Structure 1
Amino acid sequence: MKSTWFTFLLLGLGFGAVFGQAPPAQAPDPAALEARLKSQPGDLPTMVALGRAYLDAGRYDDAARVFEDVLALDYQNFQAHFGLGLALYRKGDLRGALFEFDQVTRLFPDRFEGWYNLAVAYADSGRWDEAAAAFQRAIALGEEQKLAPDVLRPAYLGLATAQRKLGKPDQAAQTLMMAAEKMGEDEEILYLIAENLSLAGKPKEAIPYLYKVLNKDRGNVAAVNLLADIFVGQGLVDRALRELDRSLEATQDPAIRANLLLKKAMLLKAIDPEKAAKLLEEASALDPRLWQAHYDLGSSWLRAGDPDRALRAFQKAYSVNPTEPKILVGLAAAYFQKQDYKQAYRYAQLAADSSEGAVKADALLIAGKSAYRLGRYAEARALLLRAVDLAPDRADAWLWLGLAAYALQDFDTAVPALERAVQLDPSPVAKLNLGAAYLAVKRFSDAEQILTQVVLEDPENAEAWYNLGWALNALGRESEAQRAWKAALDLGYEPARSLIKK
């Protein structure tokens, strides 16, 4: 395949660039080419060279203008179409770049680089079906023309990426296996085969490829992590831990060791939380820039009920990655435990504004709880309504929504919210608050039933006895009400004293 000019097209997708001749040792001077063009107006080779010089200099508008001028004189000029596509892409005109690369494939259907660049541009715009088709055409042409493996490699990787984006990891794995057969087994291709097989529900088939990677580089964090996950999925946690230990023994690189210790801590946190916390401390000391270690350490301290240490860990994570929503949620949770509700609200709102899904639900819940503690009940209700919309199975979100609505005497919201909380998690706290809501709307039989459950489960709950007394009294069961109030008073609940008859 002969060409006077190929250039690189990097579109940020991680699977390569168009091949080409090596650039000259010294880029041509646009001023000299401009002067030559003045003396030889309309000279196409000079115009093409000037367009390329503008591209090399980052003058994309000028490059696009010159290449368009060439096409106005010679629409069959491959280099002008290709250069215009590059210039338009680099100046952010993706639609224009797609048009030009499409023109290249129509006018020069046997040019590998036209199809490859069109595929990359489609992928960059999220048009994965069209990207896959263009990558397939590029690969077919490249194989026919016996292009070098390092030229075809990014096209195979691009096709596998498109197939995976289309929800076809099994096809992606097959594409990568073909690439490995044709161009040798390198670590990236082997790992991607394993990753796609795992995504396709074939983790056992992925294992041999991961060992091939680890035999080349025992410190490959992604490979050993995936291998550990597969073993955990098979119920072989101890084997997963041993694989991590093998990699730890084989490398002294602090950053790699920190990542491996982080993974080991994640596997151990449910089994041995104390050991997991020590591993996280070691990981964060080895690589202070590993925010995940600081974050997980903060989370472990939160679970242990130590918000001060949790806050310090989250603050270290925040200093490394101040925009990560999970860290912001961690800070909010630590401040909430410390009863600093203003700071908790602040960080929770920052997290809610920059996250989605479960993390956003967590942020909204903490923001709503904090607003409630600050006495801003209407704001709390609004935030918690958003939280339950995102996470309808979160009992704690429904409970706090019920509390906020109750404080506003919005019983139409409070009662169903608290009923949902009890349905999801029938804890004494949720039942106690539902009983109080039933009393407020004069559903005395329902209140008596739920509050009786509470005092049977938690006989020391003075407030439950007190509220049960009111429910029984409203139902005309005065002697039972007196006994309930007496039980509340015996447990130290002073409001019951005035209700007890002498």
Structure 2
Amino acid sequence: MTIDVLPHGGAAHAAAGVALLADGRFQEALAPLRLALACGEAPPATLLNLAIAEDRAGDRGYARTLMRNVAVRLPDWDEPLLRLAESYRAVDDMEQAEDAYRQVLALNPVRREALVALGAMLLQRGQAEEARDLLLRGCGVAPDDAEAWNALGLAFLAGGDPKRALTAFVRAQTLKPTTPEYVLNNVEVAVKAGEAEAELARLTVAGEQDPLNLAAQLGRGLLLERLGRRPEAIDALEAAVALAPDAVLPLSLLASLLCRTTRLRESEATLRRLMDLAPDNAWMRNDLGAVLLRSQRYVEAHELLQEAADTIGPDSAVLSNLANATVYLGLQEEAVAISRRAIDLGPESVMPRRSLCNTLPYRDATTGTELLAAARACATRLPRTTVPPFANTPEPERPLTVGLLSGSLRSHPVGWLTVAGIETLDPRAFSVVCLSQNTTATDPIARRFRAVAQAWVDIDALSDTALAEAARERGIDILLDLGGYGEAGRMTACANRLAPVQIKWVGMQAHSTGLPEMDWFLTDRWETPGGFEPLYSERLLRLADGYVCYSPPPHAPDVVPLPALANGHVTFGCFNNLAKITPRVIDTWAAILRRIPDARLVLKTQQLSETTTADRLRAAFADHGIAAHRLDLRGPSGHRTFLGEYGDIDIVLDPFPYSGGLTTCEALWMGVPTITLPGEFFAARHSLSHMSNAGLADWVTDSVEAYIEMAAARAADLPALASLRAALREQVRRSPLCDAPRFGKNLGAALRHAWRTWCAEGNGSMPGSTDDASAEARA
């Protein structure tokens, strides 16, 4: 824009410059203000306006010189010092800004801008008390300044006074009811002040009075989530998104909430909309990668997380997610290395240590000692808070309340391996409370849990502290954790002690939790034979038979005759997760296929639906001389179809070190035995337990060489295989593996033993034992 020289001289130029300055056109304001100065019109106000324009246009050094000159000419005027303070604050030179603000207040103790700005700066630095005093003065000087009230609320909150903070935030909202920042601050403090319900009612009224008030809908959504009313919370945030479909904040809040549910498709769609709106935000790639990981789309997840890691740079959280995606691609060594890098970046953070606990069991050569050390390092960093004391009566023989803590009380390995045992607990001695998350009421296994439970508590939206309080309110005596350090695990809640006695059982039960507050580890003599105690921080609570009870699904197809009789060759198979298939496993299986030249191998898992993963696996076998036509790589299917495909398999080859769990039980039910090589830690011995419990201990080997020899020997005796297959389902049905009443008695005896021990030991927290304190619980 060109400014002509006006006939009225410098005053006219100055007026034109001020008008442009007021319009935010700082660069354009420079010319008329400089002309005013050249014309001799240089009163302090003109100089200060020029200084402001120079500062906002980028020449901060010259601007500050002008501001100081004006301050020297008019030493009683606070405006140039205020502008100087704002100039320094704009570039985060807080020391200089603070000095200038203090000079302003020395001249004018009630200058609102200085009171609020300096108060906010001190608050950010942690000087809450002085910040509060300044902000109180600011609110007194300018009672209609919403920013001052919001800052005052933050100061009260930082000083540990949530009730006064709530009053200040409500005042800020009243002054500017459509400002999301004020509402979001108020949500957090309302929860802390115990006024969440009242604040929800207030925001509901505000939303009814102004249906287009985006801030009210956002606040309602967050408060509903904090109050455990997640479906309503999602509805409120979806309404907010509808009001501002192209705004990042509503979408990001909705995405954050959806990502904590099982509504993965909606989570993905919301995150992709966010990525369209903010394509340069690499954190969106991290969040979407985590959702795709939960959706078992491992290649896509890995690509996005790698992009996020490359863009964001070294970050502990991103690398933790990347490690989890990497292990599910069967890259165990790389996954462990990424987890360790994440720990190096955030040594006190829990997330990378959980990642290490979850990747280490899949890697070749991992030891029980190594896993215990990793678990302990994670457990020591879990946050602990002050929670109410227990009121449980220490009577050894009274009826007990047993809590089940899980995100998998449904058609899931946890459900299939535990529900029958819970159903057959003596109802006169035990009542059950389910502390559940991520579970739909229509799931058939969930319905079985609901039918046996005295109470069902949805804990999706409960904090660890709130969960501890809920467990105490229901008088839980013994807690069974069914989540571990997994995705839906709540070990952070267990660290706060949800019950006087806490026991780890199933659900990411790869090895010891390392948690001092976890008293017992439910196991059996095969999983943890005598001498294994030093590998566990918990006491070992050994059941008389196996540590689980398998519930065969009613939709399982009938067992078919041995396929080798019709095929003319033996077909080996493994339906385990690709994360369990290590280079050593591939080498071993390839040796078996070379030993039996006409044999085939069927591998079936979610990851093999992805072409790049399947091609990489074929290439790994090709490196060992195994042609592609001898491999049948299959992706996922429905559960009945999945079980039916065991009709193509003669012998299952168990992976190692991480053994099959539910897959071994399912194979047995479909008439297919498993060759297994147990290791040292818990997850390395699952198949040993299940096979032994079903009467097939003679399928267990003790070395890779013996594993290969057994595969060759079993494949050579088709009549024996055919005979075993025909009788195996009935053998499994009659075995302790599926004998629910027998298991229920064993489980009840073990729980009673743990409770009696607590009563006898002074009702206190029991540290884990590495001596001879393991218990044998027998029916």
Q: Give TM-score, length-normalised by structure 2.
A: 0.42
Give the residue type in structure 2 aligned to 1:116: L
The residue aligned with 2:662 is 494
Whether 1:269 and 2:191 are equivalent positions in the alignment is yes
- Give me the whole-angstrom Cα distance separating, in 1, the residues matched to 2:251 and 2:167: 34
Give the residue type in structure 2 aligned to 1:161: E
| Closer, same or farther: CA 403–211 of 1 in aligned 2, 3 Å | closer
Give the residue type in structure 1 aligned to 2:86: T
Whether 1:310 and 2:355 are equivalent positions in the alignment is no
Consecutive unaligned residues of structure 2, counting only runs of 5 or more, are 377-483, 486-490, 492-501, 514-524, 530-541, 552-660, 666-673, 675-686, 698-779
For residue 159 of structure 2, the aligned residue among 225, 229, 234 is 234
- Give me the whole-angstrom Cα distance separating, in 2, the residues matched to 1:401 and 1:458: 30
C-alpha distance after superposition, 1:364-403 (max 9, x if no partner): 33211222344543332233245557496655x4443222
The residue aligned with 2:68 is 136
The residue aligned with 1:180 is 108
The residue aligned with 1:384 is 305
Q: Report SS of the residue matched to 1:269.
A: helix
Give the percent of matched residue pairs that are identical in Structure 1 and Structure 2: 18
Shift of 1:460: 1.3
Contact 1:122 1:128 in 2 (8 A): yes
Please list, as runs of the form range in 1=range in 2, the aligned pairs for 1:433-444 lying within 5 A after superposition. 433-438=358-363, 441-443=364-366
The residue aligned with 1:5 is none
Shift of 1:264: 4.7
Give the residue type in structure 2 aligned to 1:331: L
For residue 333 of structure 1, the aligned residue among 236, 245, 256 is 256
Give the residue type in structure 2 aligned to 1:494: L
Contact 1:401 1:417 in 2 (8 A): yes
Whether 1:117 and 2:49 are equivalent positions in the alignment is yes
The residue aligned with 1:371 is 292
* Larger helix fraction of residues: 1
Contact 1:123 1:162 in 2 (8 A): yes
Question: RMSD over aligned Cα, in angstroms?
Answer: 5.1
C-alpha distance after superposition, 1:246-298 (max 9, x if no partner): x69xx9879399998765542232453xx325404422532555544433443
Please list, as runs of the form range in 1=range in 2, the aligned pairs for 1:71-90 lying within 5 A after superposition. 78=10
The residue aligned with 1:11 is none
Whether 1:169 and 2:214 are equivalent positions in the alignment is no
| Closer, same or farther: CA 391–269 of 1 in aligned 2, 3 Å | farther
C-alpha distance after superposition, 1:3-29 (max 9, x if no partner): xxxxxxxxxxxxxxxxxxxxxxxxxxx
Whether 1:351 and 2:279 are equivalent positions in the alignment is no
C-alpha distance after superposition, 1:137-157 (max 9, x if no partner): 34445x38x9xx8xx85x454
Q: Report SS of the residue matched to 1:368.
A: helix
Contact 2:305 2:322 in 1 (8 A): yes
- Give me the whole-angstrom Cα distance separating, in 2, the residues matched to 1:235 and 1:467: 38
Please list, as runs of the form range in 1=range in 2, the aligned pairs for 1:434-473 lying within 5 A after superposition. 434-438=359-363, 441-443=364-366, 449=372, 459-461=504-506, 464=509
Q: Report SS of the residue matched to 1:402.
A: helix
Please list, as runs of the form range in 1=range in 2, the aligned pairs for 1:8-19 lying within 5 A after superposition. none
- Give me the whole-angstrom Cα distance separating, in 1, the residues matched to 2:108 and 2:62: 24
| Closer, same or farther: CA 428–117 of 1 in aligned 2, 3 Å | closer
Q: Report SS of the residue matched to 2:177.
A: helix
Please list, as runs of the form range in 1=range in 2, the aligned pairs for 1:466-481 lying within 5 A after superposition. none
| Closer, same or farther: CA 120–349 of 1 in aligned 2, 3 Å | farther
Give the residue type in structure 1 aligned to 2:662: E
Shift of 1:461: 1.7
- Give me the whole-angstrom Cα distance separating, in 2, the residues matched to 1:458 and 1:306: 29
Aligned residues: 404
The residue aligned with 2:322 is 401
- Give me the whole-angstrom Cα distance separating, in 2, the residues matched to 1:491 and 1:451: 30
Shift of 1:417: 3.2
Shift of 1:211: 3.8
- Give me the whole-angstrom Cα distance separating, in 1, the residues matched to 2:175 and 2:324: 52
The farther-off stretch of 331-340 and 76-85 is 76-85
Shift of 1:172: 3.4
Shift of 1:409: 2.9
- Give me the whole-angstrom Cα distance separating, in 2, the residues matched to 1:258 and 1:427: 33
The residue aligned with 2:409 is none
- Give me the whole-angstrom Cα distance separating, in 2, the residues matched to 1:458 and 1:429: 19
The farther-off stretch of 234-243 and 252-261 is 252-261
C-alpha distance after superposition, 1:332-370 (max 9, x if no partner): 23333453434322332443566699x863x33321122
Shift of 1:427: 9.7
* Larger strand fraction of residues: 2
- Give me the whole-angstrom Cα distance separating, in 1, the residues matched to 2:238 and 2:292: 22
Q: Report SS of the residue matched to 2:42.
A: coil
- Give me the whole-angstrom Cα distance separating, in 1, the residues matched to 2:361 and 2:103: 63
Please list, as runs of the form range in 1=range in 2, the aligned pairs for 1:413-424 lying within 5 A after superposition. 413-419=334-340, 424=349
Give the residue type in structure 2 aligned to 1:408: L
Give the residue type in structure 1 aligned to 2:327: Y
- Give me the whole-angstrom Cα distance separating, in 1, the residues matched to 2:57 and 2:550: 67
- Give me the whole-angstrom Cα distance separating, in 2, the residues matched to 1:388 and 1:460: 35
The farther-off stretch of 220-229 and 400-409 is 220-229
Q: Which has the higher contact order (CA 8 A, sep 6+)?
A: 2
Q: Give TM-score, length-normalised by structure 1.
A: 0.61
Contact 1:85 1:98 in 2 (8 A): yes
Contact 1:219 1:256 in 2 (8 A): no
